[in-house]
Structure 1
Amino acid sequence: MKKHYFLFWMLPAVFFACKKDPKLPDPVEPPVVVVPKDTTKTDKGIKTKKIDSIRKALALRSSRSIFNISSDSVWKDSTGITFRVEMKDPESSVTLSPSADYNQVFPGSLIKGKSVDDFSFKPLTVYAAPFLSIIPTDNTFDLVDKMSISKKSFDDYIRKQLTRGGSKQIESAFFSSGDPFENYAEISIYSRYSWDISNFLNLKPGENRKIKKKNGLYSTLDMSLFSITAYALPDGNFFAPGTNPTAVPDDPLVVRDVTYGRMATIAIESDASFKEIHAAFAAARTKNMSAEHRSLLQNAIVTPFVRGFNVDRMNQLKNFKGAELVEKYLELIESGGTVSVNDYGAPIKVLLSKADVREDPFYRHQFKYRLDYPVN
């Protein structure tokens, strides 16, 4: 994070003493101090400096930032803001929230544009093309020039590829060993999640998304197994034959690409130092926890999120807490490297495009976050 330093110059005042009455200087008009106007729109009575402090905290003004801020902050109350950002990446993927509806998440699916906001992916089936061509990233999978577009078609296709000897290899994986955070929305933003992980907190009136204990650590896992991209047939587009694209309602989008894999995040709050939390988490990963490590995690606030792993084991996490929850979480993500016909992850990311555009660019969705900070 960049730090800005301001240099203040002090002009020395020199006084001369003499025996006679001092000669008074000619009166001088005081300098006019020009105060820059804050052009940021805020509600009456809100401290505007909070907006700048949060923007700086997220490096939104940095040329190296991965974000573009797409609108001014919208104030909810005196403790925080809600705002939208979009990624600078040309291809901005949408990571699926825990509430996302899988039934419409498959390549070539035609959806109502605004349904991305709540991840309901509401279909526009009557307008959708019946056939498309697909290209998988796994080179052991078959290319298909003309494929029926439905969730069942893709489920059958994937299982067939894995049954006949698909590679069952991990395409890519990223794991963070532990980073600090103060506000739960920061986890979503820095992990490039398209949804606010602070929704897990089930906040009560008056509570906010800032951590309750002194320090916080979060760790993420992003494991891509394979992706499948849909292309329109040479003689058609993403709509059913005879459809007038301009007459299709609800700002239609098409799911162009789906990444199947696994995602996981764990957040740990503790009154211990970040260094101590990091050491305890590292010891849990290596199955070498001391009594002090276990005590720290047992008294911590632990919040996990998992997607695309074994369903039964994911559901079992809610039965644990503290150190045992951390251990069960780590055991679960360690098991994620095994791929089978019946366990090949889940849709974790999608690329969308305007349905009436045959080729790129991909649709750049704006993501909404809420940050709560104490008012100084």
Structure 2
Amino acid sequence: MASKGRSRASRKKSVTFKVEQIEWSSKEYYIHGTSTPDKIRCHGCGCVSNTIYPLENKCQGHGLCRDCKETDFVCHSHRGHVTAEALRNAVGQTNNAARKLRILCLFCGSNEDFLNLKDHMYKEHSLELADMLKGSQKTDYEQEKPASTQEKHRTSSSTWKEDHFSKNADVTVELEGDEAPVCKHCKEEWDARDLGEHEKACPEKGVQCRDCDEWIKQEELSDHKKVDTISELQQKIKEMEQCNMSQLEEARNERAKLEKRIQELENRQNVDTISELQQKIKDMELCNEKATNEQAKLVRRIQELENRQTSQREEASIEIAKLVKRIQELENCQLEADQYRIDLEDDVKVHRTALQNLEDKVGRISKEAVTRRRVEMLNERVETYLGPLERLLNGLRHADKE
């Protein structure tokens, strides 16, 4: 089972990579996943290029490399036809879909981000890069010439006429007499069914360089671009050397300025006299004395504040103790009053019970005169006892309410 995450390309097929004018095939690349996804490849040749030219309409989301956009293109997925003229003014974009792709440098073998490989080679291997482009002799036509174009053969005029009329081929070439169709670039006779494809890839076809707008033969386009690239690299090398020289000169000037400044400071220090230094010492001592006096004042002030805070804290503690004691006394008085009130209520209940008993007895003997007299005496006695008790009970209730 294939492991997840970043996998080594040695388990995959070789992939063609293009960085500007450099093209090579390699298995030594790394990417997050199991293979190079289609969205980072050229929709034409299947290579992985650092610059991609996006397509539109049905093919939106796909793109072509710099070489494939120079010729007419037929999408193998949507069968859409895109001409080279339509893509002539297309603006190349960074192939951001390949941002997770890492590959080994051709020169030093370091593992670099694919999108940063161009800057790495220009910065670290500019000389090797120029020599590599000089030594390359292959042209774009020799590298990309379709096998079907190489294997196609030219037919005689009679054979072409027979095929044309017997199979009713869909061609728009008009002939005079028995002449076969001729390529408008190389003037060679071709089968009408193959003529259109041949003219697209014909080495004699004139194409316009997108860098200098010069019209040249298609087979010479690669050498023309390589010459421009070599000159550009040499120019960059000269600019880098000039930049290094200018930076070195700036560093020397800066060093001279610093040395001059150091000398000025040393001379200024020597100008100071002993009297000036003594005066500075006196000023510093006076400043220290003032600082000492201020510190002493602050210490005294802090001590006063601490003493005042301590005395206030003690007074507050005494007042709190007095309040606590007074609260305790009031609580005790309240408890005594509550107990006295309860006792009085119990006495009142007892006397009321006794009074009720007496009233019952009085009711039984009220018919007799003697009994009436006794009842009156008892009532007087009861009133004598109950009057003070009720007044006392009312006083206690009034005190509870207050």
Q: Do Structure 1 and Structure 2 share a fold, with TM-score over 0.5?
A: no
* TM-score interval, smaller chain: under 0.3
What TM-score, normalized by structure 2, do the two folds share?
Answer: 0.20
* Larger CA Rg, structure 1 vs 2: 2
Q: Which has the higher helix share?
A: 2
What TM-score, normalized by structure 1, do the two folds share?
Answer: 0.21
Higher relative contact order, structure no. (Cα contacts within 8 Å, ≥ 6 residues apart): 1
